[in-house]
Amino acid sequence: MKLRNMSICQSWWLCRPLTKSLFSPQTQRFWCHSLPLSTKVKILKHKVEPLGISLDNSCLPGNYHNLFCPKCKGGQLMERSLSFHIITDGEFAIWRCFRPICGWAGQVSADDKELDNKPDEESLGLEPLGPKLVAYFKERLISEKTLSRNSVRQLSDEKNVIAFTYKQNGLIVGCKYRTMEKRFWQGKVIDKVLYGLDDISHATEIIIVEGEIDKLSLEEAGYQNCVSVPDGAPGKVSSKDPPPIEKDTAYQYLWNSKDYLDKVVRIILATDNDPPGQALAEELARRLGRERCWQVRWPKKDELSFFKDANECQVLHTYNHSIVANGPRFSNTWELML
Ligand SMILES: [Zn+2]
C-alpha cells in the first residue's frame, strides 16, 4: 500500500505541467536567454552539486530524471526518489523528492546574477580579525592558527563584532555574530547547519558542543572532528517525542547535516554542564540515536562546583586534563584530553 501511494505521488509530480504551475512571473524575470544551452546546463550542474545532487552527462534538458535524494537517501528501500528536471531551454532546474516523509524540493536558475547573491566574506562585510579580537581569543587560549583555519572574522564596519562563518563544502551558508559582551545574532542563512560541518565530513567519531568557542577550544586540544550546534541550548527537555523531521524546526540544523551524521559511529555530546546544556544533550540523543551517543562529565572545578564547558576547562586548567564521557551502557567510558 505504501509503495502504491508513492508511485501515485511520483506520477502526480511528473505529470504536472511544472513550468506553468510552479513558477510565478517573478521567477521568470531572472531568465537569461543569451547564454548557450551547454553553458546554462553547466551552471545548473555547478549550482546543484553543493546540495548533494550529482548529475551525470545523461541529465539533459527537457527530460525527467530519477536521482538519489541527498536528504533522505531514498529511505530503507533506497529508492531513486528525487525527481529532477532541467527545463528545455536550460533556464532553470527543479526537483522534488516524492517520498512523503522527505518531500525535499527546490529550484535553481541558470542566471549568473543569482550566483552573486550567494554570501561570501565580501558581501557580508567581513575582514580578518584585528588585534583586539585576536587578544580576546588569546585570553581564551584560542590561537590565530585555529581562528584562521575556521575562518573566524570580524565585521569591517564594527570591529568589535566577531563573525563565525558557517560553511558547507567550503561555501558560506550562514554567519553568526557575537559581541564581546556575549550578544549573539544570526546573519543571512542559506541552510542552517552545524558549525564546522566540513570538519566531520570523513569522521566516524565526532564531538558536539554547545557553542562556536567550545569548538575552537577542542581544536586547540587536538580535536578537529568537532561541530557546534548553531543556536545554543533549549530551556528544558520537551515532554513530547520529537516531531516529524519537516516540523522539527528547532533542530533543522541536524536534519540539514544528516548526510554527515548518518555515517558517524560514536557521538560525544560535550554540551554545557547546566540544565539547558543537559537538556540539549538529551534532545540531541533522541534524534541522533541514543545507542551511539556518549555524554561528557565535566570534572570538578572546586569543592562545590564543576567546570561548565570545554573552554572553561581549558582556560582554568592549562595542563592536560582527562575528561570522561559515559557511554550508552554505564560500563563504557571514553576519555577526552583537554
Ligand atoms: Zn528525499
Nearest to 301 by CA among 291, 314, 288: 314
Distance 66 CA to ligand 1 centre (A): 11
Distance 39 CA to ligand 1 centre (A): 28
Distance 145 CA to ligand 1 centre (A): 39
Distance 156 CA to ligand 1 centre (A): 40
**Residue bearing the bigger pLDDT, 95 or 330:** 95
Q: Give the least confident one: 69-78, 275-284, 285-294, 323-332.
A: 323-332
DSSP-based three-state secondary structure for 116? helix
Residues around ion ligand 1, judged by CB within 5 A, are: 69, 71-72, 97, 102, 104
Residues 170-176, mean pLDDT to the nearest whole number: 90
Q: Domain ranges in the chain?
A: 2-115, 118-191, 198-338
Distance 291 CA to ligand 1 centre (A): 25
Task: Catalogue the long-range contacts made by 62-65 (C-beta closer than 8 Å, 24 or more residues apart).
Answer: 62/86, 62/87, 62/88, 64/14
pLDDT band at 113 (very low <50, low <70, confident <90, very high): low
Distance 44 CA to ligand 1 centre (A): 20
DSSP state for residue 1 in the 8-state scheme: -
Distance 75 CA to ligand 1 centre (A): 8
Do 217 and 189 meet the contact criterion of CB atoms below 8 Å apart? no
Distance 98 CA to ligand 1 centre (A): 7
Q: Give the least confident one: 22-31, 140-149, 307-316.
A: 22-31
Instruction: Look up cell 588569546; give the residue.
Output: 138
pLDDT of residue 338: 63
Q: How much of the chain, in percent, has pLDDT values that exceed 70?
A: 82
Asked if the domains 118-191 and 198-338 are classified in one and the same CATH topology, the answer is: no
CATH number of 118-191: 2.20.25.180
Q: How much of the chain, in percent, has pLDDT values that exceed 90?
A: 40
Distance 73 CA to ligand 1 centre (A): 6
DSSP-based three-state secondary structure for 218? helix
Q: How high is the ipTM of this complex? A: 0.96
How many Cα neighbours within 13 Å face the side chain of 186?
14
DSSP state for residue 306 in the 8-state scheme: B
Distance 105 CA to ligand 1 centre (A): 9
CATH number of 198-338: 3.40.1360.10
Dihedral angle, C-alpha 185, 188, 191, 194, nearest 10 °: -30
Is the pLDDT at 198 greater than 50? The verdict is: yes
Distance 69 CA to ligand 1 centre (A): 5
